[in-house]
Amino acid sequence: MLDLSNNRLYGKIPIGTQLQSFNTSYFEGNSNLCGEPLDNKCPGEEPSKHQVPTTDAGDDNSIFLEAFYMSMGIGFFTSFIH
């Protein structure tokens, strides 16, 4: 078994089935590690209480672009008919 303890590792543990299945003792001595399976939360994982709410403006833009490209395709196709 791979033992990663006391190696001065830091950062978020990559997400996947391999490392998340390790016992937390395999990561001991690496106080700067965060993420599953450890109890240490990585910075930015917990939502801030002062976040600005997002809007759905992107949906309006995507509908516009879809209609725009459809009209371009129809115009291109009809130019060959005439």
Q: Enter the pTM of the model.
A: 0.46
CA distances from 56 to 42, 47, 53, 59, 60 (A): 28, 19, 10, 6, 7
Instruction: Summarize pLDDT for 37-49 with one digit per residue, the tens.
Output: 888 888 876 655 5
- Outline where DSSP puts E strands in the chain: 10-12, 32-34
Is-cis flag, bond preceding 37, omega within 30?
Answer: yes
The per-residue pLDDT for range 11-30, each reduced to its tens digit, is 988 887 787 788 888 889 98
How many angstroms separate the CA atoms of 77 and 75, rounded?
A: 5
